[in-house]
Amino acid sequence: VNIKYRGFDKSFWQVKGAEKIMFGLDDIAGQSEVIIVEGEMDKLALEQAGFKNVISVPDGAPGKVKEGPVPAPEEDRKFEYLWNCRAALDPVQRIIIAADADAPGLALAEELARRLGKERCYRVTWPEGCKDANDVLQNEGAATLRACIENSEGFPVRGLFRFSDFQDDISNYFSVSDNSEMKGVSTGWTSVDR
């Protein structure tokens, strides 16, 4: 298991050659819902807000989303820690990805969801002016941080749509004037006729 060090100037380093795992892995044992954050301070901020089922990635975020399919586990060096923690993450039903609100954070969220399965991943939106969980705790308080986590939204899944995506098209298609024969016949119940 690796050890991560932090210098006073916010420099980081780890033990070379040690197995990388997620920070706080023991905190998610047996949990059906897990929150993944980008840094250790974000994990601690969420703990302060009452969430114990939080883990942090050990290496921060990638610069951008990698093109093409997800590499095989043995070739996926940047996300080696994710494959090393697979036994703890596979049984989890709901994964909330609370990455930073910058380009690398968005890339991290996308890459994690690609590897963990978008169908069970949810993403957090931070308030205006806040970059991450720690910023929200410091600037807005624990209640706002809890609300951000509780209001996380599902990742878009290719080929899966919501009715609201087509609501205008459907309304326009069935929109007819009152005097048109397409209007139909009353059922006798005004609430159904609408």
Closest CA to 99 of 149, 54, 38: 38
Closest CA to 27 of 37, 18, 19: 37
Per-residue confidence band for 5, with pLDDT thresholds at 50, 70 and 90: confident
Structure confidence at residue 159 (pLDDT)? 77
Structure confidence at residue 1 (pLDDT)? 66
Residue 194 pLDDT > 90, yes or no? no
**Global pTM?**
0.79
**pLDDT, tens digit, 9 for 90 and up, residues 136-189:** 999 999 999 999 999 999 988 777 777 788 877 777 777 666 666 666 677 888
Quote the percentage of the chain above a pLDDT of 90: 60
Residue 25 burial (10 A CB sphere; 0-12, 13-18, 19+): middle
Count CA atoms closer than 13 A to 32's CA, side-chain side. 1
**Which range is least confidently modeled, 1-5, 101-105, 161-165, 166-170?**
1-5
Are the CB atoms for 142 and 44 separated by under 8 Å?
A: no
Structure confidence at residue 161 (pLDDT)? 76
CA distance 149 to 33: 11
Count CA atoms closer than 13 A to 70's CA, side-chain side. 15
- Both tokens of 2, joined, read 């690796």
Per-residue confidence band for 191, with pLDDT thresholds at 50, 70 and 90: confident
Are the CB atoms for 108 and 57 separated by under 8 Å?
A: yes
Residue 110 pLDDT > 70, yes or no? yes
Per-residue confidence band for 56, with pLDDT thresholds at 50, 70 and 90: very high
Instruction: Write the DSSP string, 57-85.
Output: -SS---SSPPSSSPPPGGG-GGGHHHHHT
Mean residue pLDDT of the chain comes to 88
Quote the percentage of the chain above a pLDDT of 70: 93
Strands (E), the chain: 4-6, 12-14, 33-37, 54-56, 94-98, 121-123, 153-154
CB atoms within 10 A of CB 60: 14
